[in-house]
């Protein structure tokens, strides 16, 4: 066994490789571990594993982690840890450890690799099923292994079969519907105390299993008596295990028990050289089997047995550490104080039911086992081993502690982490609480870090005593995942930083990056925000870009728009239903702007749709709406109108779109596509032509989102970058100017063009937006029926208008609410009459302007509104080229 040096509370210690921190500290004689959170009572290590309520540490080495039970930390060279009085510290440096995630499907998931779990795993593995077996301990074998039993080799052998995935140090933290389970595997903390950046420190497993076997075993529970929380008082199985591992601090011991387990552990202590002064057994009479299995072997070793007695109180030395136990039997009048180093309690076994309760299985109370056990009625879940109550031969008494007076109750602890006592329980019951869920919230019992792993059943038993109800009448324990505390970073895995969400880019993206354009997030897409020249800020760049678009030629990457290819003889009829305006009458080769409403009559998307052929259409949607519109089209085709011959296919990324915009765009197009008739008469507004552009086969549409003469050049995305490069090259003499989303927004807003999702939030009808012109009076379409609802046809709805601030340089923050003019400068609360949807500074107008939704807006053109200390005039929502003549160039 090699030695390991570690630091605890600033002191260097030496432990043995493979020790838990708790074992190593006990080996070094550390009994007083910390003081309790609320009452500063000295506390020591009480148990063996995650159920430990007292010995919490802050691990400061490596990634650092607060509030870890010392019983679960494996010591490594250089480990640094600190005791905690209830509250830990989050590390103040970023956790740069690597964490990852793995997904697996299996026929069977076995949780727990004790004897019961191993037996189940072998059973399924031998049948050829894919089995995943997970156990949270460092070593296979669970409870039996801790007691020193040998695990049958054939069980271990099945763990190495090809169809078995075996993971230790892996805690299933949650179980969910349809066999889903999430587990965390600790991979490096037991190997090194250093931060692990190349090997995942924790791997989070997501498992989908057809069948789940729960073999999670059980924890011992303590008893409630006065001063039952001193260092030196331990659960009996834990005490015996520590002593067997070589902890030599205890020379004498008293075992207080309600079941045969106490005898087993007393004998283990005795065999390791501890003088067991007495076994104090609340049970007077035992079955013949128990007498044979438990009492006789103890008597043979000369251990004194006090029948029908239990612990009443303890005494401590000046440091509060256990010095003696007061044993009592009210019936016989026994009241004896026994000096002892160690008080080992066996209050009964509490099966670890959490994972079963997460998926709605209610544990059932068994009087014979003095425990809540899991009997699964669900076909896909089975419970085995101690979880299922496989310990009836221990013959426990249903007993939780002796009668105590008020003073004793005040120091009789039920939940060590909350410093909650029997007195708190009595007060809760006195206040009328009966259900465990009410008591839990009134006293905070079970709500601390250990989530009631030791206090749960104890609390229910004591409540039962206090109100005279049987344990299955009080309600059942509900637990919630995660089973143990888990770092958020482990759940995130690799989904951090740049990998949190996909970053979507167009085929022209490399050019934007090389040009140094800052990017804007549009949903998952990165779109160039603006293209600053050296020394320019956003404001200066936008002024220059917009000036180029309105006076020269500018170019934009419009590839992110959603695109849906629609084919079939009924496509026109279908589009007539989907859009508010007519499409079936659109000529081949022409494009038309359309608006889409939901059945509630509210606008939810828009776009330009082109008729490529008699039965062939290309629909565009907003960048953010592409998936939603695709689902919408398919919903109607599949669930309402399957008779329509229409097929839809997503082509959002198939086509790259480069828009050239401005009075000189015609000249640029002529250079890019010599031989193409680009004259005003030869290439009409909203017309499409096929031609080679810079040698690349393209479809050119004369469409404008800026109000200027403009063309959208569509090519296979394979050639998007080549097209852009050629536009920049051939457009150089025209000073072709790339522009980004900011300028795009300003240009369209100057024309009063709405952006769905900016001017709309799902509660605007076309009429609200002043777009009654696009609503066909001739045909029915989805949503039209809702226009005649009383609320939708109200004349005073919020309507789209323009705003011009009286302070012409004041750009109203988007989203601002505004009020009547007389409320200028007033302090809230003030009734608002609308809000700003878009707001910019216009180079063209040399002033600020905004679009807004105002109550009864169209009737209020010319009125003023107040925004804080500023005012603005309501106008028509159009600011530049009100006659729309610039469109033809």
What residues numbered 561-580 form the site for another protein, per CB under 8 A?
565, 567-569
Of the candidate spans 349-357, 531-539, 624-632, 837-845, the one that interacts with another protein by CB under 8 A turns out to be: 624-632
> What is the maximum alpha-carbon separation in the chain?
116
Least distance in angstroms from the C-beta of 615 to another protein: 9
Regarding 130 and contact with another protein (CB under 8 A), the answer is yes
Rounded to an integer, what distance in angstroms lies between the CA atom of residue 806 and that of residue 506?
41
- Please tell me the distance from the alpha carbon of residue 841 to that of residue 843, in angstroms, as a whole number: 7
Q: Give the Cα separation of 727 and 817 in Å (integer).
A: 43
Stretch near another protein under the rule CB under 8 A, chosen from 405-413, 499-507, 668-676, 685-693:
499-507
Distance CA 345, CA 487 (A): 33
Rank residues 177 and 405 by Cβ distance to another protein and give the closer one.
Answer: 177
Tokens 């077996």 locate to 133
CB of 790 or CB of 822, closer to another protein: 790
Cis peptide before 482 (omega within 30 of 0): yes
- How far is Cα 712 from Cα 658, in angstroms, rounded to an integer? 6
Decide if residue 533 touches another protein (CB under 8 A).
no
DSSP code of residue 83: E
Q: How far is the CB of 722 from another protein (least distance, A)?
A: 4
Neighbours of 748 (CB within 10 A): 19
CB of 431 to another protein, least distance (A): 31
Q: Does 337 bind another protein (CB under 8 A)?
A: no
Nearest CA to 102 out of 196, 190, 187, 178 is that of 187
CB 765 within 8 A of CB 603: yes
Looking at 438, 504, 860, 864, which residue binds another protein (CB under 8 A)? 504
Residue 792 CB, nearest approach to another protein (Å):
11
**Total Cβ atoms within 10 A of residue 193:** 22
- The contact pattern for another protein, residues 6-45, with x = CB under 8 A and - = no contact, is ----------------------------------------
Burial class (CB in 10 A: 0-12, 13-18, 19+), 421: buried
C-beta closer to another protein: residue 511 or 840: 511
- Window of 149-157, 173-181, 449-457, 804-812 that interacts with another protein by CB under 8 A: 173-181
> In this chain, which of 27, 41, 43, 98 binds another protein, going by CB under 8 A?
98
Contact positions with another protein (CB under 8 A) in 384-403: none
* CB nearer another protein, residue 115 or residue 184: 184
* Shortest Cβ 758–another protein spacing (Å): 22
Nearer to another protein, 197 or 435 (CB): 197
Nearer to another protein, 505 or 584 (CB): 505
Tell me if 21 sits within 8 A of 73, measured CB to CB: yes
Tell how far CA 191 is from the center of its chain. 29
Is 654 among the residues that bind another protein (CB under 8 A)? yes
- Residue 716 as a binder of another protein (CB under 8 A): the answer is yes
Distance (Å, rounded) from C-alpha 98 to C-alpha 196? Answer: 6
The site for another protein, by CB under 8 A, has a size of: 73
Tell me whether residue 206 or residue 438 sits nearer to another protein (CB atom): 206
What part of residues 511-530 is at the interface with another protein (CB under 8 A)?
A: 525
**Cβ closer to another protein: 447 or 716?**
716
Binding mask 675-714 for another protein (x = CB under 8 A): --------------------xxx-----------------
Can residue 655 be called a binding residue for another protein (CB under 8 A)? yes
How far apart (Å, rounded) are the C-alpha atoms in residues 642 and 521?
A: 38
Interaction of residue 357 with another protein, rule CB under 8 A: no
Q: What is the 3-state secondary structure (H, E, C) of 671-710?
A: HHCCCCCCCCCCCCCCEEEEEEECCEEEEEECCCCCCCCE
Q: Among 507, 609, 799, 842, indicate the residue that binds another protein (CB under 8 A).
A: 507
Among 638, 822, 825, 862, binds another protein (CB under 8 A): 638
- Which parts of 766-805 interact with another protein (CB under 8 A)? 780, 784-786, 788-790
Give the integer Cα–Cα distance in Å for 123 and 114. Answer: 14
Cis peptide before 829 (omega within 30 of 0): yes
Q: Which of residues 180-239 bind another protein (CB under 8 A)?
A: 180, 198-200, 206, 208
Among 39, 89, 105, 876, contact with another protein (rule: CB under 8 A): 105
Among 139, 393, 473, 501, binds another protein (CB under 8 A): 501
Return the residues of window 469-498 that contact another protein according to CB under 8 A. 494, 498
Q: What is the DSSP string of 576-595?
A: HHHBSS--TTPPTTBEEEEE
Contact residue for another protein among 403, 473, 634, 772 (CB under 8 A) = 634
Of 177-185, 344-352, 806-814, 881-889, which part binds another protein (CB under 8 A)? 177-185
E runs forming strands in 533-590: 554-557, 562-567
| Whole-angstrom distance, CA of residue 4 vs CA of residue 193 | 11
What Rg do the C-alpha atoms of the chain give, in angstroms?
38
CA distance 389 to 630: 54
* Rounded to 5°, angle at Cα 438 from 435 and 441: 150
Subset of residues 598 to 617 that bind another protein, contact rule: CB under 8 A: 599-600
- SS3 assignment, position 88: coil
Q: What 3-state class would DSSP assign to 626?
A: helix
Task: Indicate which single residue of 719, 739, 810, 879 sits in contact with another protein (rule: CB under 8 A).
Answer: 719
Q: How far is the CB of 689 from another protein (least distance, A)?
A: 18
Cα separation, 693 vs 714, in Å, equals 9
Residues 405-464 interacting with another protein (rule: CB under 8 A): none
């Amino acid at each position: 066994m090699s030695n390991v040096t570690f630091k605890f509370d600033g002191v260097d210690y030496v432990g043995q490789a493979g020790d838990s921190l708790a074992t190593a500290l006990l080996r070094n004689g550390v009994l007083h571990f910390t003081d309790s959170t609320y009452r500063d009572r000295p506390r020591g290590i009480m148990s063996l594993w995650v159920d430990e309520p007292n010995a919490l540490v802050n691990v400061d080495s490596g990634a650092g982690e607060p509030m870890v039970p010392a019983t679960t930390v494996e010591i490594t060279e250089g480990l640094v840890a600190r005791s905690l009085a209830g509250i830990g510290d989050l590390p103040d440096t970023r956790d740069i450890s690597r964490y990852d995630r793995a997904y697996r499907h299996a026929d069977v998931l076995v949780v727990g690799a004790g004897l019961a779990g191993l037996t189940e795993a072998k059973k399924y593995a031998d049948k050829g099923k894919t089995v995943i077996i997970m156990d949270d301990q460092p070593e296979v074998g669970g409870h039996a292994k801790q007691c020193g039993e040998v695990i049958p080799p054939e069980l271990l052998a099945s763990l190495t079969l090809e169809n078995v995935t075996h993971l230790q140090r892996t805690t299933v933290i949650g179980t969910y519907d349809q066999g889903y389970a999430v587990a965390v595997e600790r991979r490096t903390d037991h190997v090194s105390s250093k931060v692990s950046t190349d090997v995942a420190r924790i791997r989070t497993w997501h498992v989908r299993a057809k069948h789940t076997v729960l073999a999670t075993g059980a924890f011992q529970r303590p008893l409630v008596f006065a001063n039952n929380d001193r260092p030196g008082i331990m659960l009996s199985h834990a005490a015996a295990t520590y002593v067997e591992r070589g902890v030599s601090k205890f020379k004498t011991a008293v075992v207080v028990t309600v079941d045969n387990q106490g005898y087993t552990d007393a004998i283990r202590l005795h065999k390791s050289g501890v003088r067991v002064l007495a076994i104090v057994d609340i049970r007077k009479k035992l079955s013949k089997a128990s007498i044979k299995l438990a009492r006789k072997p103890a008597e043979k070793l000369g251990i004194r047995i006090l029948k029908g007695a239990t612990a009443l109180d303890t005494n401590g030395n000046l440091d509060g550490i256990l010095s003696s136990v007061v044993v009592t039997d009210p019936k016989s009048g026994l009241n004896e104080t026994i000096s002892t180093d160690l008080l080992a309690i066996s209050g009964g076994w509490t099966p670890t039911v959490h994972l079963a309760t997460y998926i709605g299985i209610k544990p059932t109370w068994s009087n014979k086992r003095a425990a809540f056990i899991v009997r699964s009625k669900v076909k896909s879940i089975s419970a085995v081993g101690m979880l299922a109550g496989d310990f009836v031969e221990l013959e426990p008494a249903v007993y939780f502690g002796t009668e105590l007076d008020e003073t004793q109750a005040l120091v009789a602890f039920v939940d060590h982490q909350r410093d909650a006592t029997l007195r708190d329980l009595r007060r809760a019951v006195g206040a009328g609480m009966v259900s465990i869920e009410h008591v839990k919230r009134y006293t905070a019992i079970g709500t601390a870090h250990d989530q009631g792993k030791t206090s749960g059943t104890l609390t229910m038993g004591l409540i039962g005593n206090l109100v005279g109800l049987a344990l299955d009448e009080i309600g059942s324990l509900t637990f919630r995942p995660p089973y143990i505390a888990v770092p958020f970073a482990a759940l995130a895995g690799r989904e951090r930083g740049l990998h949190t969400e996909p970053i979507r880019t167009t085929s022209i993206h490399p050019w934007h990056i090389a040009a140094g354009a800052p990017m804007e997030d549009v949903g998952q897409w990165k779109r160039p925000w603006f293209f600053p020249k050296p020394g320019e800020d956003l404001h200066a760049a936008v002024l220059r870009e917009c000036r180029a678009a309105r006076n020269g030629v500018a170019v934009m990457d419009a590839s992110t728009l959603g695109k849906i290819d629609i084919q079939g003889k009924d496509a026109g009829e279908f589009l007539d239903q989907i859009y508010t305006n007519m499409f079936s009458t659109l000529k081949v080769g022409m494009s038309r702007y359309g608006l889409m409403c939901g059945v509630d009559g509210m606008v939810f998307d828009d776009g330009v749709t082109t008729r490529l052929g008699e039965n062939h259409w290309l629909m565009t949607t907003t960048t953010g709406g592409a998936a939603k519109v695709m689902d919408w089209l398919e919903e109607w085709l599949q669930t309402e109108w399957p008779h329509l011959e229409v097929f839809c296919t997503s082509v959002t990324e198939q086509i790259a779109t480069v828009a050239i915009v401005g009075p000189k765009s015609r000249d640029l197009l002529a250079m890019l596509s010599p031989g193409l008739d680009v004259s005003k008469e030869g290439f009409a507004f909203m017309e499409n032509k096929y031609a080679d552009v810079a040698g690349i086969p393209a479809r050119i549409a004369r469409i404008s989102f800026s109000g200027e003469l403009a063309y959208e050049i569509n090519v296979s995305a394979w050639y998007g970058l080549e097209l852009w490069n050629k536009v920049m090259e051939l457009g150089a003499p025209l000073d072709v100017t790339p522009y980004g989303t900011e300028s795009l927004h300003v240009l369209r807003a100057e024309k009063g063009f709405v952006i769905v999702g900016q001017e709309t939030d799902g509660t605007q009808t076309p009429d609200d937006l002043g777009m009654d012109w696009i609503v066909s009076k001739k045909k029915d379409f989805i949503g039209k029926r809702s226009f005649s609802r009383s609320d939708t046809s109200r004349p005073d709805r919020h309507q789209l208008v323009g705003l011009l601030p009286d302070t012409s340089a004041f750009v109203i923050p988007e989203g601002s609410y505004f009020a009547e003019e007389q409320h200028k400068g007033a302090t809230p609360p003030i009734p608002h009459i609308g809000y700003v949807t878009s707001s910019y500074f216009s180079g063209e107008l040399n002033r600020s302007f905004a679009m807004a939704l105002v109550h009864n807006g169209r009737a209020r053109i010319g009125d003023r509104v107040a925004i804080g200390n500023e005012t603005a005039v309501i106008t028509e929502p159009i600011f530049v080229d009100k006659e729309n003549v610039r469109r033809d160039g």
